[in-house]
Amino acid sequence: MQSYSGKKEDCELPVTQKLLADNAGVLLNAVITGDALHCQKKRLA
């Protein structure tokens, strides 16, 4: 389980991306759904 505080570096999008990246092997052949927020392209600063 992962939680977030709402700070820019600790908001829903990066927490979800880290959760998926860290658990890629466990999630093999899993169906993952997300709302439109998770369809954003990564922006370079």
Q: Which residues of the chain, if any, have pLDDT below 50?
A: none
Would you state the pLDDT for residue 34?
83
Residue 42 lies in a domain: no
Containing structural domain, residue 19? 8-36
Would you state the pLDDT for residue 28?
87
Residue 13 lies in a domain: yes
Q: What's the distance, CA 21 to chain centroid?
A: 8
Token pair for 26: 């466990």
Residue 25 lies in a domain: yes
Residue 19 lies in a domain: yes
Number of domains in the chain: 1
Query: Which one-letter amino acid corresponds to residue 26?
Result: V
> Who's near 31: CB < 8 A, 6+ residues apart?
none
Residue 41 lies in a domain: no
Would you state the pLDDT for residue 4?
61
Residue 15 lies in a domain: yes
Would you state the pLDDT for residue 1?
60
Would you state the pLDDT for residue 24?
86
Distances 30 to 9, 24, 39 between C-alpha atoms, Å: 27, 10, 18
Would you state the pLDDT for residue 21?
87
